[in-house]
Amino acid sequence: MTHTPLQGFPTLADLERVAAERVPDRVWAYIQTGAGEERSLEANRAAFRRWSLRPRVLSDVTSVDLRSRILGREVDAPLFVAPMAYQREVHPEGEEGVARAAEDARVLSIFSTLSSASLEEIARAAPSGPRWFQLYLQPEFARSRELVERAERSGYSALVLTVDVPVLGVRDRQEAGGFAIDASVPTGNGPGVVPPARAPSFRGPTYELPANAAANWGILDDLRSISRLPVILKGILSLEDARRAARHSMEGIVVSNHGGRQLDGAAASLDALPAIAEEVGSTLEVYVDGGVRRASDVLIALALGAKAVGLGRPILWALAVGGGEGVREYLSSLSRDLATAMALTGRRQIAEIDRTLVQRIP
């Protein structure tokens, strides 16, 4: 049996526990915490527990195929690595390790504007992708444009515009830990990259936010005018916004509460998913992230209409424990877990996962 970095930590609980020992406390606080009282962070996990699976039997599951298509591109599993900032803080291999692992697993990965490695370094590490670029709008559109053009030149095949951060959420535990997003944390994409503001400033009777908070739906036309890449909106939780994204001809949306890190009290991503997928899922691709840990979670999210399911914190735990190799191992064990769960539910292909696979626990 070959040694793998995750050996000895075979369960996800172990992975989280060991990761906690490997990363500095301040980084751990950054990764793990959510906004405010962490109601939305907890809600993401709790939402999965309100659904159970309805297995079908005697379905000849000698061959189980996880392959699916995301925006037309074939991937080996309907999963994606969610965009997460500052990955070299977690492990020296950082985003490049994650990118290589996802490329090897033929799984989509999305990289943040606030990556520790530059988007070009990430692209060189995993040239064949598939890779998407997450954009935080910059105070000046010219700066956003530069990032978009660089991403396009480096072979990123879609733009993921994060729309739930006009300002960062209030992350009490993170601030207490001493590591939080601000301009003092170096990013790989250049000193000119401005992170979202941590708080509004009080100016007389109103609270003022930086220029990126001025964005409205018109920004989508601006993005279209500078890039031919498909645009995905990340951070949609309402039917109204989902419909509007469809009217603006977005290629996809990520139903997400930003890992519970933005608006405390916002709906769990999974709770928002079914109605949105039902309404706009035939017009654009609907993805979801938040609280996904295991194959059963993936099945529930797919059954409720997600085209692909994002992984956040577990990727960082695996990175902390084993670098890129750890992420590779995690993705392969999750895929194996998913193939097992499909066999046990009598599904041979991703296309056979439908609403009848789940029931709401009364």
Report the residue from 85, 197, 223, 270 that binds ligand GLV according to the rule CB under 6 A.
85
Q: Does 258 bind ligand GLV (CB under 6 A)?
A: yes
Shortest separation between residue 181's beta carbon and ligand GLV, angstroms: 5
H helices then E strands: how many in the chain?
Answer: 12, 14
Residue 315: DSSP 8-state: H
- Does the CA dihedral 150-155-156-157 come out positive or negative? positive
The single residue of 3, 91, 248, 258 carrying the catalytic annotation is: 258
Least distance in Å: CB of 165 to ligand GLV?
7
Catalytic annotation on 258? Answer: yes
User: Which is closer to ligand GLV, CB of 261 or CB of 328?
Assistant: 261
Is 181 near ligand GLV (CB under 6 A)? yes
Instruction: Give me the least distance between CB of 162 and ligand GLV, in Å please.
Output: 7
Is residue 102 close enough to count as binding ligand GLV by CB under 6 A? no
Question: In the complex, what is the shortest distance from the CB of residue 87 to ligand GLV, in angstroms, rounded to a whole number?
Answer: 11
d(CA 111, CA 115): 7
Nearest distance in Å: CB 85, ligand GLV: 5
Nearer Cβ to ligand GLV (181/272): 181
Residue 45 CB partners (closer than 8 Å, separation 6+): 291, 293
Taking CB under 6 A as the criterion, the residue among 91, 106, 234, 261 binding ligand GLV is 261
Nearest-CB residue to ligand GLV?
261
155, HSE (Cβ side, Cα atoms, 13 Å): 13
267 or 339: CB nearest ligand GLV: 267
Binding of residue 313 to ligand GLV (CB under 6 A): no
Q: Identify the burial level of 95 via C-beta atoms within 10 angstroms of its C-beta, where 0-12 means exposed, 13-18 middle and 19 or more buried.
A: buried
* Closest CB to ligand GLV among residues 66, 85: 85
CA 336 – CA 15 distance, rounded (Å): 17
Measured N-to-C along each axis, helices 218-226 and 141-153 cross at an angle, to the nearest 10 degrees, of 40
Quick check: 197 binds ligand GLV (CB under 6 A)?
no
SS3 86: coil
Sign of the CA dihedral running 108, 114, 116, 118:
positive
Q: Which residues are catalytic?
A: 258
Residue ranges that bind ligand GLV, judged by CB under 6 A = 85, 181, 258, 261
